[in-house]
Amino acid sequence: MPHDHADHDHPHSLLPPDPALRVKALETILVQKGLIDPAALDEIIDTYENRIGPKNGAHVVARAWSDPAFKAALLADADPVLAGMGYYGRQGEHMVVVENTADVHNMVVCTLCSCYPWPLLGIPPGWYKSDAYRARAVREPRKVLAEFGVTLPEGQAVRVWDSTAEVRYLVLPQRPEGTDGMDEAALMALVTRDSMIGCGLASAP
């Protein structure tokens, strides 16, 4: 028994028990074998730390708030519209945008894993990947929303989208009151990551 692991049949139990050492050990072996290039790892990390994030989604939302024809095209068939903005890519190959209205509030979860629209929102936040969110979002979305400080009007139904396939969902939040005349850049600043998952609302100006 090389390490104190619960599962001795799986090869992963042969790696060191400490997660940081485990990753380091695997990286070392893979580099020695010529299977990964450390420079490529740095490039991937830089991409998701600095280049791809919720600003992309906010750009889409602000444009949809500003341009009715764009919004109509986005809601009808998001993929070509998003590809045209340069937001196509891994974990966002099949996008559907769902609009919040006075009648319906949309919210997104993946109960089986943590599927999420990476090209538009970056990698998911910790809570999106948590057991609690995955377990509870489908059964008690309003209690979960309350934990984000959101209380919906009684007349507004909740639609929870469970991303079980490769299809990824982006919520188009309601445009806040008092934003008439604001340009796309100013609107973008009101669009939060959580509002595009449906666990928050767009910020007031």
Tell me which amino acid residue 28 is.
T
Comparing CB distances to other proteins, the nearer of 20 and 180 is: 20
Is-catalytic flag, 199? no
Rg of the chain, C-alpha, whole Å: 20
Out of 13, 66, 114, 203, the active site residue is 114
Minimum CB–partner distance for residue 190 and other proteins (Å): 13
Minimum CB–partner distance for residue 2 and other proteins (Å): 6
Q: With contact defined as beta carbons under 8 Å apart, do 171 and 104 qualify? A: no
Q: Is 110 annotated as contributing to ligand binding?
A: yes
Q: With contact defined as beta carbons under 8 Å apart, do 83 and 75 qualify? A: no
> Collapsing DSSP states into helix, strand and coil, what is residue 191?
coil
Out of 13, 113, 163, 203, the active site residue is 113
Q: Is 199 annotated as contributing to ligand binding?
A: no
Q: What's the CA gap between 115 and 101, in Å, rounded?
A: 24
Comparing CB distances to other proteins, the nearer of 122 and 173 is: 122
Minimum CB–partner distance for residue 69 and other proteins (Å): 22
Comparing CB distances to other proteins, the nearer of 132 and 186 is: 132
Out of 115, 163, 195, 199, the active site residue is 115
Out of 13, 66, 110, 130, the active site residue is 110
Of 160, 158, 170, the residue nearest 54 (C-alpha): 170
Comparing CB distances to other proteins, the nearer of 68 and 155 is: 155
Q: How many CB atoms lie within 10 A of CB 117?
A: 29
Q: What's the CA gap between 176 and 203, in Å, rounded?
A: 7
Q: Is 113 annotated as contributing to ligand binding?
A: yes
CA atoms 184, 187, 188, 189: torsion sign: positive
Minimum CB–partner distance for residue 163 and other proteins (Å): 7
Known binding-site residue numbers: 110, 113-115
What residues act catalytically? 110, 113-115
Known binding-site residue numbers for Fe(3+): 110, 113-115
